[in-house]
Amino acid sequence: MVQFIADRRDVDFVLHEQLQVSELSKYEKFADFNKKTVDLIVTEARNLAVKEILPTRKIGDEEGTLLDKGQVTVPEAFHRAWALLKEGEWLAMPEALEHGGQGMPRLLAMAANDYLVGANFAFMMYAGLSHGAGRLVETFGSEKQKALFLNKMYTGEWTGTMLLTEPEAGSDVGALTTTAKKNEDGTYSITGSKIFISSGDHDLSENIIHPVLARIEGAPAGTKGISLFIVPKYRVNDDGSLGDFNDVVCTGLEEKMGIHGNSTCSLTLGGKEECIGTLLGEENKGMREMFLMMNEARLLVGLQGFSCATAAYLYAVNYAKEREQGRHLLQMGNKDALPVPIIQHPDIRRQLLTMKVYVEGMRSLLYYVGFCDDLAGVVDDPEEKEKYHNLVDMLTPIAKGYVTDKSFEVCGHGMQVYGGYGYIKEYPLEQLMRDCRITMIYEGTNGIQAMDLLGRKLALKGGKLVMDLFGEIQKTIASAKEIPGLAGFAEKVETALNKLGEVAAHLGKTAMSEKVLSAFASAYPFMEVTGDVVMAWMLLWRASIAAPQLEKKNKDAAFYDGQVKSIEFFTSSILPVTAGKMEAVLNTNAAPIEIDEASFGG
């Protein structure tokens, strides 16, 4: 069976035609990353993904991880893939060379990870969490902490995790009970238990560095009293060598629906009162500091969900081209008509086009967030810098919440295209759908992403985040109106954007009134309609680039025509549904709040 991850033509389209990644090379920070270098890096990432990592996806799913006598092991096939990942320095692509990174734009790293994560995201979680934990050390660590941990984490010699969740404090991190008692030498004795810790223990590296949220004895209750600590699996001596085991014990592995290749652990810290940590950053600032990693992780989770969707789409398209079943609809009365590939059936084409528009829009969105992050780091103008930061902040809940919702939906369409074969393990859709489902839950459930969008991002900086986003969308609309054949689509997107502005103003006002609970009952639909408008923006932007190419003799004519068909379908078949959802949000119905709990039954 042919194996699929991502469509290289579409990857190149977003990189070079939509976002023009090589233009970043005019900035000194990215001077080495011209088009030739960009293409080489994406090609190498694709080769590693297809040849070495992709074969481990099914192995990881079937073998899973194992806890035996306190030791956690991963599938043997993961070890070669991990060695190659380290050898190619793929773990910290956007980070500085002196710390073990490659100094590349985050946009380019996003494209490389489109392949790497897409090949086996359960495996790549070990790398993603290590990179995120390393970023915490780089940003908040002391010079000594950086010297001891950073290079080894960014190169994959050591790995990292994120210890937030506790049995009685899931999404409510402020309710955690893990404690930190200060010692005379300035270290802290850590005591507590954490659950659902991805990559929490394994045998891929000789040490695992745990950023741990805990409360220092006597600190305030809630999130205001939480601090962040570095707690290694094995203590690290001042010369960088490994010391004693640090009393971080894996007490269980979760039996999960998907991502079997990643070790999701329950960890006990200080069960023998021998767990030592060092403060990372400032006391009682742990949640603020951890949000750096959480925001990065949320973008990674969006990419994880998307990686399942793009693979599901490619599998479904190719299956539909090869699977022959049923006569053509126009030949139903002809008893001698031969079966046709199912891609010729109208409902299959509808499902494939639905998958296509979301995959294309989501890829553009995810890459765009990386691009904005790059520009925020290199432009000189303070207002422009703030704008790009605002766009990243505003789009992060969409890139995590909306993208993973739609990715799971795309996997569902892919399974439906396969029919009964999609539901069995012999074919890839079954695993893709199982793996994808977790992305809607972890790193802040999608309901929390919706609450973040409504409760924080909408009003932040007096609404400037929203205005900056709307401003960028309006630029694309204005440009598209000048392109033959796109004006009608642009007007439909403009209508949806204006309606979204009305909805945002209404919901923001309602959230500040006595109807606040009803407003937040509409937070999720608000995230959905915001995501739909962002998708329409991305598809219109893509069509604005593609349409002029159709006037030329072009070997990629079918690809460019497909971009125009995508915005046509989205504005004709999906945005009208969005408009209905917007009306529902404007109603801000109070039934979810007013219904008596007893009415739910149970």
Positions marked active-site: 443
With contact defined as beta carbons under 8 Å apart, do 231 and 246 qualify? yes
Whole-number Cα distances in Å, 547 to 21, 362, 499, 550: 21, 20, 27, 5
Cα angle 74, 78, 83 (rounded to 5 degrees) comes to 125
Distance CA 420, CA 422 (A): 5
Residues 6+ apart with CB under 8 A from 85: 48, 53, 91, 116, 127, 156
The amino acid sitting at 515 is K
- Written as six digits, the tokens of 270 are 């200080």
Whole-number Cα distances in Å, 2 to 5, 311, 360: 10, 11, 22
Distance CA 519, CA 232 (A): 43
Distance CA 602, CA 598 (A): 8
Residue 369 CB neighbour total at 10 angstroms: 25
Decide: helix, strand or coil at residue 76. Answer: coil
With contact defined as beta carbons under 8 Å apart, do 160 and 210 qualify? yes
Q: Give bridge partners of residue 169 from the DSSP assignment.
A: 166
The amino acid sitting at 44 is E
With contact defined as beta carbons under 8 Å apart, do 328 and 344 qualify? yes
With contact defined as beta carbons under 8 Å apart, do 212 and 178 qualify? yes
With contact defined as beta carbons under 8 Å apart, do 362 and 403 qualify? yes
C-alpha gyration radius of the chain:
25
Closest CA to 532 of 434, 415, 398, 430: 398
Q: Give bridge partners of residue 250 from the DSSP assignment.
A: 267
Distance CA 198, CA 253 (A): 10
Q: What is the DSSP string of 257-292?
A: SS-TTS-EEEEEESTTS--EEEE-SSTT-HHHHHHH
Whole-number Cα distances in Å, 549 to 307, 509, 566: 28, 44, 16
- Written as six digits, the tokens of 431 are 């695993």
Distance CA 184, CA 162 (A): 27
Q: What is the DSSP string of 99-123?
A: GT-----HHHHHHHHHHHHHH-HHH
3-state helix, strand, coil in the chain (%, to 5): 60, 10, 25
Question: Which residue in this structure is represented by tokens 């695993």?
Answer: 431
Distance CA 136, CA 132 (A): 7
Question: Which residue in this structure is represented by tokens 């073990």?
Answer: 100
With contact defined as beta carbons under 8 Å apart, do 251 and 233 qualify? no
With contact defined as beta carbons under 8 Å apart, do 271 and 207 qualify? no
Decide: helix, strand or coil at residue 145. Answer: helix
